[in-house]
Amino acid sequence: MTAVPGTAALTAAARVLAEPDGRGGTALPVLAGGGPFALRRTLGEGPGAHVVLIGSMAAPLGGDRLAVRVELRPGAVLRLTSAAATVSLPGPGPAHYEQELTVGADAELDWSPEPVIAAAGSHLVLRTRIELAAGARLRYREEQVLGRLHDWTRGGGPGRLTSRLTVRQAGQVILDQQTDLGPGAPGWDGPACLGGHRAVGQLLTVGLPAPTAPAAGDAALMALPGHGAALLTALAPDGLQLRRALAGRQGS
């Protein structure tokens, strides 16, 4: 962890390395966090490891540069969750948050953290890169909420969230999308984008049962060009309804 000269901003990173332990389970030879990141292994079911990402301080603030890097070696199984939502807060300029996820052959990653919330006056630039080897399995849930409840009730509105997600499978790009939501982003609240909703999320599966096709509502299920890859995207008025929409449509 380092401080950016001349500001109160931070540069910090967390790293997780998972590998088979030789006894049918998954070991974590690297579990390291700094700054706002604390990582804890918890008891889980089955052969996989379960890591919880805990925010040890308010972050990201404008100007911060944060990164989370997760690598699964071939055959490892890992579930990563978080203890609370990630709330971006105002500061001098946008905050930058990078997520790099690498999943080896026959490894399985379940990425299911709590939502990212863009508080009023903030701007978070979120960049996620996922590299999947042939035969890797992935369940990736992403939830984004514009503004906290009291931001809206006090007339502050949302912050801005610029997000890009790139997924490669066996070296080939199967998904590369960018969204720019919140004040300052062109047309973000119009009918072609959020259409008055305040929460957007997606559930990406690769090599696992795909989400079920939505019967109705503001959601869409797409087959991706990769092998066994599907993407469910949903909009909702708030984070709770978004979670229900995604949780109720997972494949069995």
Summarize the confidence of residues 188-193 as an average pLDDT. Answer: 80
In a domain, 231, yes or no: no
* Cis status, amide bond into 191, omega within 30 of 0: no
In a domain, 184, yes or no: yes
In a domain, 245, yes or no: no
In a domain, 131, yes or no: yes
Task: Tell me what percent of the residues of the chain surpass a pLDDT of 90.
Answer: 66
Instruction: Render pLDDT for 7-27 as a digit per residue (tens, 0 to 9).
Output: 568 899 999 999 999 999 999
Contact between 185 and 162 (Cβ < 8 Å):
yes
pLDDT at 187: 84
Residue 168 has pLDDT above 70, yes or no: yes
In a domain, 242, yes or no: no
Instruction: Render pLDDT for 100-147 as a digit per residue (tens, 0 to 9).
Output: 999 999 999 999 999 999 999 999 999 999 999 999 999 999 999 998
Summarize the confidence of residues 173-202 as an average pLDDT. Answer: 89
In a domain, 225, yes or no: no
pTM: 0.91
In a domain, 86, yes or no: yes
In a domain, 21, yes or no: yes
pLDDT at 249: 55
What residues contact residue 212 under an 8 Å CB cut-off, 6+ apart?
221, 249, 250, 251
- For Cα atoms 71, 73, 79, give the angle at the middle one, nearest 5 degrees: 60
Domain count, the chain: 1
| Domain span at 151 | 7-201
